[in-house]
């Protein structure tokens, strides 16, 4: 079944079978037409000949004596006519010649003459023999002739002959002298040629047509196969092979495949298509690997960029004056936004928030240059913020072939005072939180964007931060974040989001703002880089620290830890820390052991560091006692003569640069000083 | 502070691990004097003692006085900070520092 189905769908089967059907139908029509015209001409021939014989026979009959013959008169004349008619009948290859007188209704007739050819084997009718008319057709024809409606009639019988051969009967009128019809002359001839010649004719025609059909089909099939079907089959196989292998064939099978223009074009097109397809594949593969390479490079670039801005938080865990946090979310792999912060010196932190025009690689390169320029200028020759931005602007302008620019907010925070000196080169206004109040935009004088014009001068502004105040810097990616309805996030929403977490540390504030922006934007794509920085100012570093503690040896570790932590913060070397710890122990143990005996009390330990001089003050409210009054132990004595006591104070005096005792407000006040390099 | 003692006949090695201050010195004193009878050679290994205050010095002086009567004493592996303390207080003159 599948074979038949595939055969029915094959091109060659369809074309060839259609052709054969067409040829068979055509030959069948030709045969039919030939047969019909063959029959017609034969019939006409028979009709004419038979009519001629009938006319001749009619001349042999005396029309005036018909009734007389039937009455038995003039019988000699009748027999004479009968004899001539018999001769005619034999000579002319006629079956029967008969003269009849039909009844008025033409259903019966009476025989007048009847000649029968010897070969037929018929028995001739006697004169006066009455008989039924053979059929209705004869009756009608008899009537037509008898009533002179026509001169002659014929009846052809090829069917229902009861074994008789097909024959034709010509019917003529026999007239008397007055012109009246007195009898009918009928001549019947067998149509042997018609019946015998038809079969061979049909066989011949059919055979020749069949031969022609076979021949033409064979030739046509061969021609079609050679010129159409095989080439198309080859093309289709080649297309199929190419689809599977995706390779150009080694043989030039589509070359000179056919002389037919259309097929040549098809073959050429297929060959061209194969080449084009392979080229397209190659191009695609190249493009894909190129894209992959670019993706990898972008990935690396993104990492470099992310690594270029400080991203380890907490950034300055040892600094007590401030906390800082920043985040950068580029819209593409790399962005043009950046933040930066770095220590200019012990007391100054530089803060940068900038946004390069454009996005992607060019912006990222521009960003790196700008960032480097600011930092290098700051940390080498230094200068005021205005000088630094002017320097950066001039440098960028002198080599800005891409006509890009960058908006920068740049400030230097003095940690000891909370004063920020800043320059705004076309950047968004910073937001300040005043402790206990809310976040507000800090509108400052704006200068021209950096990179636009050489030699521009920038004006500085000052922002004074108090303890607990916060500074929020951002790029326009925050207020200009857009949701799917093209609504801007806006400054109002930004300030509200900041206000919601105003008491939180910088990290939480930025995370909250980012979350709020993300929630607002929803499914809409991020168009711009989102970069933020938040700084909280804790106030100037405390110069002095005090520990109020029970004067007990058990508290010794707490006291040494307190002093060590303070020294650590001042970055005092471990060796010096150890020396000072020794002095602290000696003094504190002294107080713990003697000041409040036999009861207990408290001591205050104050640490102060200024101008490289460390001052430690021990205060207690115990009995008045000046440890310095005691004479130093003699350290030259041999062991056995040495005293156990007095070594602690002696060591303290040796370690510290200055040790002083004072009794004030019922307190023992011992002040230790040491210069730290 | 931890104290590791190793006695070999009349020889006693005491290793001090940690800070020797006012609060830990009594511990050393107790450990030292519980079995000094018959000890002729007393050695303190200070390799892992980064700090000593006068309370510690007091124990060393007491030990030195004892050993002056029944044998010899020395300290070994003294770190620079502790050495400085010994020098300031003249202990480097009276204690055998090896």
Residue-wise DSSP of A425-436: ESPPPPEEE-TT
Residue A193 forms beta bridges with which residues?
Answer: none
DSSP 8-class letter at A125: P
**Residue B42 near residue B6, CB atoms below 8 Å:** no
A149: CB partners within 8 A, 6+ apart = A143
Give pLDDT, residue A496. 92
Q: Which ipTM was obtained for this model? A: 0.89
Query: How is residue B37 annotated by DSSP?
Result: T
Q: Residue A556 is nearest to which of B22, B61, B90, comparing CB atoms?
A: B22
Q: Is the pLDDT of residue A142 over 80?
A: yes
CB contact under 8 A, B89 and A650: yes
Tokens of A213: 């059909």
Please tell me the predicted confidence (pLDDT) of residue A373: 92
Intervals of CATH 3.30.565.10 along chain A = 544-675
A619 closest CA partner among A565, A566, A549, A543: A549
Residues of A in contact with B62 (CB under 8 A): 644
Give tens-digit pLDDT for A159-213. Answer: 767 777 788 899 999 988 888 888 999 999 888 776 677 777 778 877 887 788 7
Q: How far is A535 from chain B (nearest CA, A)?
A: 41
Evaluate if residue A528 carries a pLDDT over 90.
no
Nearest to B85 among A636, A640, A651 (CB): A651
Distance from the Cα of A638 to chain B's closest Cα (Å) equals: 6
CB-CB neighbours of A296 under 10 Å: 10
Buried b (16+ CB within 10 A) or exposed e, B47-84: eebbbbbbbbbbbbbbbbbbbeeebebebeebeebbeb
B3 DSSP β-pair partners: B16
Provide, as residue numbers in chain B, all residues whose Cβ is less than 8 Å from the Cβ of A650.
Answer: 88-89
pLDDT of residue A250: 66
Nearest to B64 among A636, A639, A654 (CB): A639
Q: Which residues of B touch A647 (CB under 8 A)?
A: 54, 57-58, 89
The token pair that represents A380 in the structure block: 């080498």
The Cα–Cα gap between A363 and A343 comes to 26
* Planar angle of CA A518, A519, A520, nearest 5 degrees: 90
**How far is A518 from A515, CA to CA, in rounded Å?**
5
pLDDT of residue A254: 65
How much is the pLDDT for A668? 93
In chain B, residues with a C-beta closer than 8 Å to the C-beta of A639 are 61, 64-65, 68, 94-95
Q: C-alpha distances in angstroms, A564 versus A238, A558, A648?
A: 88, 10, 19
Please state the φ and ψ torsions of residue A529, each to the nearest 5 degrees. -65, 145
* CA A140/CA A131 separation, integer angstroms: 16
Distance CA A189, CA A96 (A): 7
CA distance A595 to chain B (A): 16
Those residues with Cβ within 8 angstroms of residue A655's Cβ, 6 or more apart along the chain or in another chain: A579, A580, A582, A583, A674, B88
Nearest to A575 among B61, B65, B81 (CB): B81
Give pLDDT tens digits for A220-230: 888 877 877 78
Which regions of chain A carry the CATH code 3.30.450.20?
41-196
Lowest model confidence (mean pLDDT) among A10-19, A27-36, A192-201: A192-201
Task: Return the structure tokens found at A603.
Answer: 């001591």
Q: Quick check: B22 and A554 CB within 8 A?
A: no
Q: In which order are the strands placed within the sheet that holds B11-17?
A: B2-8, B11-17, B41-45, B72-76, B96-97
Query: What's the pLDDT tens digit per position in A595-613?
Result: 888 888 999 999 988 778 8
Instruction: Say how far apart CA A353 and CA A400 lie, in whole Å.
Output: 20
Torsion of CA A59, A60, A63, A65, to 10 degrees: 160
- Per-residue pLDDT for A470 more than 90? yes
As a whole number of Å, the end-to-end CA separation of chain B is 22
Which whole number is the average pLDDT over A55-74? 88
Token pair, residue A611, equals: 């101008």
Percentage of residues of chain A with pLDDT beyond 70: 97
Task: Tell me the C-alpha distance between A389 and A490, whole Å.
Answer: 28
Contact (Cβ atoms closer than 8 angstroms) between residue A620 and residue A601:
yes
Considering only CA atoms, which of A503, A497, A499 is closest in space to residue A515? A497
Q: Contact at 8 Å (CB) between A669 and A619?
A: yes
Helix, coil or strand: residue A109:
strand
Q: Which of B19, B25, B53 to mutate to test the interface with A (most CBs of A within 10 A)?
A: B53
pLDDT value, residue A634: 86
% of chain A at pLDDT higher than 90: 30
Cα–Cα separations (whole angstroms), residue A315 to A85, A476, A609? 149, 25, 25
Q: Considering chain A, what is the average pLDDT of its residues?
A: 86
| First-to-final CA distance of chain A | 106
Least confident of A35-39, A499-503, A538-542: A538-542
**What residues of chain A lie within 8 A of the CB of B74, using their CB?**
none
Q: Which of B51, B58, B88 sits opposite A654 (nearest CB)?
A: B88
- Helix (H), strand (E), coil (C) string for A593-657: HHCCCCCCCEEEEEEEEECCEEEEEEEECCCCCCHHHCCCCCCCCCHHHCCCCCHHHHHHHHHCC
- The token pair at A144 is 């037509």
B39 neighbors B71 (Cβ within 8 angstroms): yes
Residue ranges in chain B assigned as alpha helix (H): 25-33, 54-70, 80-88, 91-94
Q: Return residue ranges of chain A for CATH 3.60.40.10.
A: 316-537
Whether the CA torsion A278, A279, A281, A282 is positive or negative: it is: positive
pLDDT of residue A24: 82
Q: Across the A/B interface, how many CB contacts are shorter than 8 Å?
A: 61
Residue B4 confidence (pLDDT):
92
> What are the structural domains, with CATH classification, of chain B?
2-97 (3.30.750.24)
Residue A119: count other Cβ atoms within 10 Å of its Cβ: 10
Looking at domain A544-675, its CATH architecture is 2-Layer Sandwich (3.30)
Q: What is the pLDDT of residue A469?
A: 92
Residue with tokens 């009709």: A47
Q: Does A303 score more than 90 pLDDT?
A: no
**Yes or no, beta carbons of B81 and A579 under 8 Å apart:** yes
pLDDT for A251 equals 65
- How much is the pLDDT for A542? 66
| Average pLDDT value for residue range A655-670 | 92
Provide mean pLDDT across the span A577-582: 92
Return all residues near A182 (Cβ < 8 A) that are at least 6 apart: A63, A64, A66, A67, A101, A174, A175, A176
Under DSSP, the state recorded for A327 is E
What is the least distance, in Å, from the CA of B8 to any CA of chain A? 26
pLDDT at A642: 82
> What is the distance of C-alpha A193 from the center of its chain?
82
**Mean local confidence (pLDDT), A328-354:** 86
CATH of A316-537, one of 3.60.40.10, 3.30.300.30, 3.40.190.10, 3.30.1310.10: 3.60.40.10
Q: In chain A, which residues have their Cβ closer than 8 Å to the Cβ of B94?
A: 638-639, 642
DSSP class of residue B95? S
Q: Give CA–CA dist A392/A406, Å, rounded.
A: 11
Residue that has been written with the tokens 């504190």 in this structure: A588
Q: Which of A262, A334, A260 is nearest to A303 (CA)?
A: A334
Query: Considering only CB atoms, which chain A residues are within 8 Å of B54?
Result: 586, 647-648, 651
Concatenated DSSP letters for B67-85?
Answer: HHHHSEEEEES--HHHHHH
DSSP annotation of A266: H
CA dihedral A255, A258, A262, A268 (to 10 degrees): -10
Least confident of A20-29, A63-72, A667-676: A20-29
- A636 to chain B nearest CA, in Å? 7
The answer to whether A496 and A431 are in contact (CB under 8 A) is no
**Contact residues, chain A, for B57 at CB < 8 Å:** 647
In the structure encoding, which two tokens stand for residue A408, read together? 């920068």
Model pLDDT, residue A2: 66
Residue A392 banded pLDDT, cuts 50, 70, 90: very high
| Distance, CA of A238 to CA of A270 (rounded, Å) | 9
Predicted pLDDT at A336: 78
pLDDT tens string, chain B, 98 residues long: the values are 999 999 898 999 999 999 999 889 999 999 888 878 888 999 999 999 999 998 899 899 889 988 988 899 999 999 999 999 998 888 888 899 88
Dihedral over Cα of A637, A639, A643, A649: its sign: positive
> Is 70 exceeded by the pLDDT of residue A88?
yes
Indicate the fold that domain A41-196 takes in CATH.
Beta-Lactamase (3.30.450)
Name the residue of chain B whose CA is nearest to A576's CA. Answer: B81
Q: Please name the residue ranges forming H helices in A447-542.
A: 490-500, 506-521
């Amino acid at each position: 079944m599948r074979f038949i189905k595939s055969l029915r769908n094959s091109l060659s089967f369809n074309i060839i079978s259609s052709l054969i059907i067409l040829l068979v139908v055509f030959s069948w029509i030709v045969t039919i037409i030939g047969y019909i015209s063959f029959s017609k001409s034969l019939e006409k021939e028979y009709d004419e000949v038979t009519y001629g014989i009938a006319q001749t026979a009619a001349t042999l009959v005396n029309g005036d004596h018909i009734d007389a013959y039937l009455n038995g008169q003039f019988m000699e004349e009748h027999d004479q006519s009968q004899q001539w008619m018999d001769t005619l009948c034999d000579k002319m290859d006629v079956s029967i010649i008969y003269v009849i007188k039909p009844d008025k209704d033409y259903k019966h007739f009476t025989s007048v003459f009847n000649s029968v050819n010897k070969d037929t084997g018929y028995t001739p009718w006697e004169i006066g023999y009455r008989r039924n008319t053979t059929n209705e057709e004869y009756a009608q024809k008899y009537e037509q002739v008898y009533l002179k409606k026509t001169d002659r009639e014929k009846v052809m019988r090829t069917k229902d002959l009861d074994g008789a051969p097909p024959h034709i009967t010509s019917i003529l009128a026999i007239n008397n002298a007055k012109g009246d019809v007195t009898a009918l002359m009928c001549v019947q001839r067998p149509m042997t040629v018609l019946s015998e010649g038809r079969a061979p004719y049909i066989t011949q025609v059919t055979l020749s047509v069949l031969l022609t059909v076979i021949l033409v089909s064979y030739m046509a099939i061969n021609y079609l196969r050679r010129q159409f079907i095989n080439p198309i089959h080859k093309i289709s196989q080649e297309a199929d092979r190419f689809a599977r292998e995706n390779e150009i064939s080694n043989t030039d099978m589509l070359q000179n495949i056919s002389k037919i223009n259309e097929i040549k074009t098809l073959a050429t097109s297929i060959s061209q298509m194969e080449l084009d397809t392979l080229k397209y594949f190659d191009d695609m593969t190249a493009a894909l690997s190129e894209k992959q390479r670019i993706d990898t490079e972008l990935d690396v670039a993104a990492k470099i960029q992310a690594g270029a801005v400080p991203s380890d938080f907490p950034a300055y865990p040892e600094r007590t004056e401030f906390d800082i946090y920043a985040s950068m979310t580029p819209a593409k792999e790399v962005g043009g936004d950046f933040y930066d912060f770095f220590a200019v010196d012990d007391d100054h932190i530089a803060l940068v928030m900038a946004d390069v025009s454009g996005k992607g690689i060019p912006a990222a390169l521009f960003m790196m240059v700008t960032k480097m320029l600011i930092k290098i200028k700051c940390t080498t020759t230094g200068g005021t913020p205005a000088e630094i931005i002017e320097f950066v602007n001039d440098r960028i302008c002198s080599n800005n072939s891409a006509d890009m620019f960058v908006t920068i907010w740049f400030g230097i925070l003095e940690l000891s005072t909370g004063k920020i000196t800043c320059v705004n080169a076309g950047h968004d206004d910073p937001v300040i939180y005043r402790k206990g109040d809310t976040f507000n935009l800090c509108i400052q004088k704006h200068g021209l964007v950096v990179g636009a014009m050489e030699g521009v001068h920038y004006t500085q502004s000052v922002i004074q931060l108090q303890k607990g105040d916060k500074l929020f810097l951002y790029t326009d990616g925050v207020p200009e974040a857009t949701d799917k309805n093209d609504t801007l996030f806006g400054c109002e929403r930004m300030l509200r989001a900041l206000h919601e977490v105003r008491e939180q540390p910088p990290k939480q504030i930025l995370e909250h703002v980012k979350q709020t922006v993300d929630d607002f934007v929803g499914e809409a794509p991020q168009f711009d880089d989102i970069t933020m920085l938040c700084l909280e100012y804790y106030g100037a570093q405390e110069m002095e620290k005090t520990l109020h503690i029970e004067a007990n040896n058990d508290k010794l570790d707490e006291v040494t830890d307190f002093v060590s932590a303070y020294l650590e913060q001042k970055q005092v070397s471990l060796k010096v820390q150890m020396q000072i710890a020794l002095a602290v122990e000696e003094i504190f143990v002294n107080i713990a052991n003697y000041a409040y005996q036999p009861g207990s009390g408290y001591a205050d330990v104050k640490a102060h560091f200024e101008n490289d001089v460390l001052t430690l003050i021990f205060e207690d409210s115990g009995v008045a006692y000046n440890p310095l009054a005691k004479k130093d132990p003699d350290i030259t004595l041999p062991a056995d003569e040495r005293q156990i006591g007095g070594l602690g104070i002696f060591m303290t005096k040796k370690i510290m640069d200055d040790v002083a005792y004072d009794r004030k407000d019922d307190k023992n006040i011992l002040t230790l000083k040491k210069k730290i390099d | 502070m931890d104290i590791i003692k190793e006695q070999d006949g009349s020889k006693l090695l005491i290793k001090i691990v940690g800070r020797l201050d006012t609060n830990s010195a009594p511990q050393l004193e107790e450990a030292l004097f519980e079995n000094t009878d018959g000890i002729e050679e007393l050695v303190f290994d200070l390799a892992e003692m980064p700090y000593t205050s006068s309370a510690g010095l007091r124990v060393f002086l007491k030990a030195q006085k004892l050993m002056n009567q029944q044998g010899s004493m020395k300290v070994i592996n003294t770190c620079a900070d502790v050495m400085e303390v010994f020098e300031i207080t003249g202990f480097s003159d009276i204690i055998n520092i090896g």
